[in-house]
Amino acid sequence: MQFELTANPPFSLGSVINSHGWIRLAPFDTIEGSDQFNYVIQSSNQQVVQLQISEIQNGVRVYIQEQGAVQAQDEIKTAVAWMLQLNEDYSQFYELTRREPKLSHVEEKAQGRLLRSPTLFEDTIKTILTTNTSWSGTIRMTDSLVIQFGSPLPGREGQYSFPGPHQVAISNEQTLRGETRLGYRAPFILELSRKVDSGALDLEKLKSSNLPTKELHKQLTSIRGVGNYAAAHLLMLLGHFDYLPIDSWALKMVSSEFFNGEPIQPEAVEQVFDRWGKWKGLAYWLWNWSAAGET
């Protein structure tokens, strides 16, 4: 089965894929030498299929080898549109970037869309797994979680979907700490999974919420394991750029770019990008940091 989806122009699948590190986290899988990628997804009817996504003019083509996926076609279309932000409009942001040399590349490369997982549950867990660890640690923990709790892709050894809330909720902290090796994050991941599984927390409704960003931030930081950095990152994935995901890297880059390398506090980063208003998180994310030693 295959189908095509149209994107709001301008669109570049390569720019979405390379927007941040999510493409390196299971069950995403890049295709070497191309801007295509695969993703293993489990539909609501429990069918596990692999999406093979490639760019076409004005959108993407999705190919699914597994039989029977037609029953979940509408669900998969919705998931892909969300993952790639196909319906988002960044024209207002592009208009602002035309007046900033450090962002002159953004419109030409059709940047702005950030790669997302099909569910906010998956994105929240992955974001928690980025905290207080190296990137290699994030990759390892995500791989372990997917292999240990995800559903296998039929006929494809070693490939699994990202586990749903129930698949993690029925585990325990000892397993998540010991076998999955999530460390101090284990109770946070377990609590989140159990709350979502029981219906006590409906993360997915935040994807279409009209709440002010400040309220969304409050709801996200109420989740154990989600601090200000993680909440800002999740807000960007939700299309809210009012908050900056400030970490040690941000402090280093902004210090070098704007403060001659002098030590700075997070407030200084906020001040530098405040002029971008509701777009400040995206302006920070896409800034040309080459002068600060980052290409």
CATH at 47: 3.30.310.20
In a shared domain, residues 219 and 169:
yes
Model pLDDT, residue 143? 98
In a shared domain, residues 179 and 288:
no
Burial group, residue 14, by CB count within 10 angstroms (0-12, 13-18, 19+):
middle
- Residue 159 belongs to some domain of the structure: yes
In a shared domain, residues 160 and 210:
yes
- Last-in-domain residue among 193, 209, 237: 237
pLDDT digits (tens, 9 = 90+) for 234-243: 999 999 999 9
Interatomic CA distance for residues 171 and 190, integer angstroms: 8
- Residue 243 belongs to some domain of the structure: no
- Residue 183 belongs to some domain of the structure: yes
- Residue 227 belongs to some domain of the structure: yes
What domain range includes position 280? Answer: 248-292
Domains in the chain, number: 3
What number of other Cβ atoms are within 10 A of residue 143's Cβ?
15
- Last-in-domain residue among 209, 237, 265: 237
In a shared domain, residues 137 and 71:
no
Alpha-carbon torsion (181, 184, 187, 190), positive or negative: negative
pLDDT digits (tens, 9 = 90+) for 66-125: 887 888 999 999 999 999 999 999 999 999 999 999 999 999 999 999 999 999 999 999
Model pLDDT, residue 94? 98
In a shared domain, residues 51 and 78:
yes
In a shared domain, residues 100 and 130:
no
CATH at 134: 1.10.340.30
- Residue 283 belongs to some domain of the structure: yes
- Last-in-domain residue among 51, 79, 108: 108
User: If you compute the radius of gyration of the chain from its CA atoms, what whole number of angstroms results?
Assistant: 19
- Residue 115 belongs to some domain of the structure: no
- Residue 29 belongs to some domain of the structure: yes
Burial group, residue 220, by CB count within 10 angstroms (0-12, 13-18, 19+):
buried
In a shared domain, residues 102 and 36:
yes
In a shared domain, residues 91 and 8:
yes
List of the chain residues with pLDDT < 50: 295
- Residue 191 belongs to some domain of the structure: yes
Model pLDDT, residue 295? 46
Model pLDDT, residue 294? 56
In a shared domain, residues 145 and 219:
yes
